[in-house]
Amino acid sequence: MAKDSADAAKSGGALTGVKVIDLSRVLGGPFATQLLADHGADVIKLEPPQGDEVRDWGPPFHEDDAAYFIGVNRNKRSVGLDLSKPEGREVLLRLLEDADVLIENFKPGSMEAWGIGYEDIKARFPRLIYCKISGFGNDGPLGGFPGYDGIVAAMAGHYSVNGSPESGPMRLGLPTVDLSMGMYCVIGILLAIHDRVTSREGQAIEVTLYDAAMSLMHPHLPNYYLSGKVAPLSGNQHTTLVPYGMYQTQTVPVMLGAGNNRAFKKVCEVLDRPELADDPRFATNGDRLKHRDALNEIIVAKLATVDGMAFALQLLKSGLPCGPVLDTGQVAESEHTRARGMIYEDGWYKGTGTPVRLSRTPGGMKSPPPKFSAHAREVLTEHGFDEAAIEKLAAAGVLVEKRRP
Catalytic annotation, residues: 178
Q: How far is CA 403 from the centre of its chain?
A: 27
Beta-carbon count within 10 A of 139 CB: 9
DSSP 3-state assignment of 80? strand
Asked whether the bond before 243 is cis by omega within 30 degrees of 0, the reply is: yes
Are the C-beta atoms of residues 311 and 303 closer than 8 Å to each other? Answer: yes
Question: What does the alpha-carbon distance between residue 335 and residue 382 come to, in Å, rounded to a whole number?
Answer: 43
For strands 76-81 and 399-400, give the pairing: antiparallel
Beta-carbon count within 10 A of 328 CB: 7
Are the C-beta atoms of residues 254 and 322 closer than 8 Å to each other? Answer: yes
For strands 254-257 and 322-324, give the pairing: antiparallel
The values of phi and psi at residue 156, to 5°, are -95, 5
Could you tell me if residue 159 is left (phi over 0), alpha (psi between -120 and 50 degrees) or otherwise beta? alpha
Query: Which of 381, 390, 270, 366 has the alpha carbon at shortest distance from 322?
Result: 270
Query: Which of 166, 170, 174 has the alpha carbon at shortest distance from 154?
Result: 170
Question: What does the alpha-carbon distance between residue 156 and residue 292 come to, in Å, rounded to a whole number?
Answer: 29
Strand partners, 30: none
Contacts of 28 (CB under 8 A, 6+ apart): 105, 133, 149, 177, 178, 179, 181, 182, 185, 209
